[in-house]
Chain A
């Protein structure tokens, strides 16, 4: 489905993404983890042709993403609020997105009834523009607009951030459902529990490189926690010493 070849992105002399080789097969569900600045969002943006890589390319269905528009037909993505047209009501936005995929209003309405629980009565028929919704509710609109498109490839950047615990569980089930239907999913998150629960394959990024590529099993969570915890304690210790010296 997706092939990444020799992909490199440099911002003012610092390499932020450097992936020599990555292959994502159809139907795989990938979790992307890594600390802030590891290059997750930059990678997403390059896969969506939103920023230009310094070198290398991303192929979607054997065709380069850059400069082409074929991938837009089967790729749905939500990275941030910048993907929403914020002066529309959620309904108008859904109709617009549905319309791009040749869905009538009735079809869109029909699909939306399936998400009534997910919306928890806070999105539809509330007489609000998207810009007046809270960040969590905006995320919900973004995620549902992705699913509405019946994509073959679904890309979500930190979808679990900003939304309440109940919705997080519902979202996990929705992603699992999509996976069952054969949708290739690519999700990034800081929540290790969720990501290991949802995804079959975890990519761990550090300073732009994929340093671990593991199939999820019972010990994956422990393995990831160990990786992230080491950095944590080390910096804590440093901080303590610092404080004592100051006093």
Chain B
């Protein structure tokens, strides 16, 4: 049965409308991952030498045991942002004579095929073979290997569990990320706890008592089981949530009335965002990214680097454009036919998008003003990037929106609807992040950093003032592709 699922998924991949794009993205991803993996292999192989350099006064095993827990905390944090959830369209199989356990087991097991699970092995196993096997014997080395494997599995399923929960309720992601950041701060900034000592407490004792290795293994197995149970229960989720009938009221946004038809379109889109789980998560994620400045600005190493301000400023004021805009107009796929035959000109439809992005970005920019604490220059860079986002990023995103013909079914619950959540999306966002650097860096190396910023701002302003031109351009461009887009959206 599992092999049948696997075959079906391969077919779904090859026959999907966007396969061309998927493969291109996958190749970029594969190259990046191979490069990262190569780095990790090198670090793993020379880990003993590196540890001696970093902690010259501590015994080697002590430093090694100390960093393991650190690594796994950091890994959990990056998993939360990057790891993709394994997907299988379960609906068509549910009513067939296939055991629920098989379906759920497949979903849960395939989650192990993630590059993240390769990293700890590549990173730590060379050290175990080189040092621990030599110093403490085969049994201890095996205990270390089992523990690291167990923790890796634990992390894997914990991250997926949080991600699945977060798909239903965006706040959970924010809370989980905040907890991890607080733990990190508690050690590094406030020195309340020492993750190093906690890590050593376990791994140090592991050398004496190899049996302890069963603990992480049990935790890993337990987390797998929790995931299994959760998935199994939630195979029903659609029906359950549909029955909860809450009174839905009609809403109005009086301020948008000033904008006439465009305003009406924006009002509808705001309702789209607030009343559907997936776009709502995208909005909440944007809130989370408003904290990105807190990672970079307090750190004196980054503080001096202008480039980071550009990066952070672009992300904070434009993440909604990037995150939500990437899936345009797929959000409206289910009623796109209706929009096309209604008395709406496509130019007004586009103006609605511009208005929405301008509104959200403006709010985001206003929310970043408190960063003035780190100097007025920070806010100035944010403002420049805000202009850039509204003048340039918006146009790029909408240009690609014209080329996107993949349907997203919002009416389906979010619990089993994970298309495009994860690394692929971030990679595409990074592509959008490149152009300002391409403009800025040459100026910086000529020692004209401020002129570089001014050029970015100028391009942004030009983009904003030539909007009518871009609207005409995008409209003409859309009419060339209209039928492909419509056909794709109709394709369930």
Contact = CB atoms under 8 A, between A and B. Distances in A.
B22 interface: no
A186 interface: no
B490 interface: yes
Nearest to A69: B345
A82 interface: yes
A82 to B, nearest CB: 5
Interface in A35-70: 48-52, 67, 69
A66 to B, nearest CB: 10
Among A67, A83, A128, A129, residue most surrounded by chain B Cβ atoms (within 10 Å): A83
B275 A92 contact: no
Nearest to B260: A99
Please report whether the interface of chain A is mostly helix, strand, loop or mixed according to DSSP.
loop
A82 B251 CA distance: 22
Contacts, number: 84
B24 to A, nearest CB: 26
A87 interface: yes
A100 B149 CA distance: 61
Interface stretch (A22-30, A71-79, A165-173): A71-79
Chain B interface size band reads 20 to 34
Contacts of B486: 50-51
A40 B460 CA distance: 49
A190 B89 CA distance: 33
A82 B340 contact: no
Contacts of A13: none
B334 interface: yes
Interface in A77-100: 77, 79-89, 91-92, 96-97, 99-100
Interface in B238-277: 242, 245-251, 261, 264, 268, 271-272, 275-276
A101 interface: yes
Interface in B4-54: none
Contacts of B261: 99-100
A127 interface: yes
A135 interface: no
Contacts of A131: 411
A84 B335 contact: yes
B410 interface: yes
A100 B342 contact: yes
Contacts of B411: 86-87, 131
A177 to B, nearest CB: 22
B434 interface: no
A225 B344 CA distance: 41
Interface in B464-489: 479, 483, 486-487
A82 B483 contact: no
B410 A87 contact: yes
B248 A128 contact: yes
Contacts of A83: 335, 337-338, 341
A80 B264 CA distance: 23
A91 B341 contact: no
B125 interface: no
B337 A100 contact: no
B134 interface: no
Contacts of B304: none
B341 A87 contact: no
Contact of B338 (A82, A101, A132, A149): A82
A97 B342 contact: yes
B251 A50 contact: no
B57 interface: no
A73 B343 CA distance: 6
A85 B335 contact: yes
A79 B337 contact: yes
Nearest to B279: A87
B487 A51 contact: yes
A88 B268 contact: yes
B399 interface: no
Contact of A82 (B271, B334, B343, B344): B334
Contact of A88 (B246, B271, B336, B340): B271
A51 B344 CA distance: 18
26 contacts: A48-B340, A49-B340, A50-B337, A51-B486, A52-B483, A72-B342, A72-B343, A72-B344, A73-B343, A77-B341, A80-B337, A81-B334, A82-B336, A83-B335, A83-B338, A84-B338, A86-B335, A86-B410, A88-B271, A89-B248, A89-B249, A92-B251, A96-B264, A100-B264, A128-B248, A132-B248
